[in-house]
Amino acid sequence: MPSFEQLAEQLEPTGTALLTVECQQGVVGKDSALPELAAEARSSGALLNVARLVAGAHEAGVQVLHAVAERRPDGRGANHNARLFRAAGRLPVQQHSGTTAVLIAPPIEVADEDLVVRRLHGLSPIAGTDVDALLRNLGCRSLLIAGVSANIAIPNAVFDAVNLGYTAVVPGDAIAGVPADYTPVMIRNTLALVATITTTDEVLACWKRQRRVTRG
C-alpha cells in the first residue's frame, strides 16, 4: 500500500480519471443477466463504493468515464470466439443497445460531464474503444478503475491501462467478482503487481484533503 502522500500525488484531480466498468443494470442491477455477480457486487458493498467514488469524483472535479458492454440485437460485430461470448448470447437478459440493460445502475449517478463509452465487441473496457484517446485528450495520467468483474473486465482494464502508460489505481473494495473469495486472491497475486491497491475511503480522503488545500 502506498503512503497517503504517494496516493494523493497519484490521484491529483486534474491528472486523474475514474473509470467505472460494466456498472450497468443488465450486469449489476436487480434484473441482471448474471444474478450471482450482481448479488456479490451489492452484498460486498462494491457497487455502493463505486457510487461513492463517482460522487466524490464529481465533487473533486475528477473526470468520470463509464465503460458499458453492449451488443446489437442482431449480434453484428460481436465476438463468438470464446465460451464466454457464446454463453452470454443464450442468457435471458441481453445487453442490447438502447435498452435499460445498458443504463448505469443505481445508486451510481451519472452527471452531464461524465463520458459514457460503449463497446460492441471484446473483453476490454479500453482496448478497441475510445477510452485511451479520451484520456489523453483530457491530460489523464492516472486511471482509477472500479466495477465488475474481478474475473475478466477489471484485470483486462488494468493491464491495458498499464500497457498504455497510465498509472492504474484500484480500490479493492470497489470491485467484485465470483466466487466472492476469488477477488482478494486475484488482487493480491495479480493486480497488486501492476497497480496501486487502495480503498474507497482512502481515495475520498485524498480528494477531500486536496479540496481543502485548493480552497485554502
Give the model confidence (pLDDT) of 87-99 as tens digits.
888 888 999 999 9
- The model carries a pTM of 0.95
Q: Considering only CA atoms, which of 140, 162, 159, 10 is closest in space to residue 64?
A: 140
DSSP, res 150: T
SS3 state of residue 98: coil
Cell for 101?
A: 440493460
**Which residue bears the cell 463505486?**
50
DSSP, res 105: P
Q: Is the pLDDT of residue 80 over 70?
A: yes
Task: Give residue 167's Cα distance to chain centre.
Answer: 15
Distance CA 14, CA 41 (A): 29
Helix axes 35-43, 46-60, angle to 10 degrees: 60
Distance CA 143, CA 167 (A): 6
Q: Is the pLDDT of residue 111 over 70?
A: yes
Task: Give residue 123's Cα distance to chain centre.
Answer: 13
Average pLDDT over residues 188-195: 98
Q: Considering only CA atoms, which of 101, 116, 109 is closest in space to residue 67?
A: 116
Q: Is the pLDDT of residue 213 over 80?
A: no
Q: Considering only CA atoms, which of 119, 118, 163 is closest in space to residue 143?
A: 163
Distance CA 9, CA 160 (A): 22
pLDDT reported for residue 92: 85
CA 76-82-87 angle, to 5 degrees, is 75
Helix axes 200-215, 46-60, angle to 10 degrees: 10
Q: Considering only CA atoms, which of 40, 69, 64, 46 is closest in space to residue 175?
A: 46
Mean pLDDT over the full length of the chain: 95
Distance CA 174, CA 82 (A): 27
Task: Work out the pLDDT band at 215, boundaries 50, 70, 90.
Answer: low
pLDDT reported for residue 5: 92
pLDDT reported for residue 214: 62
Rg (CA), the chain: 16
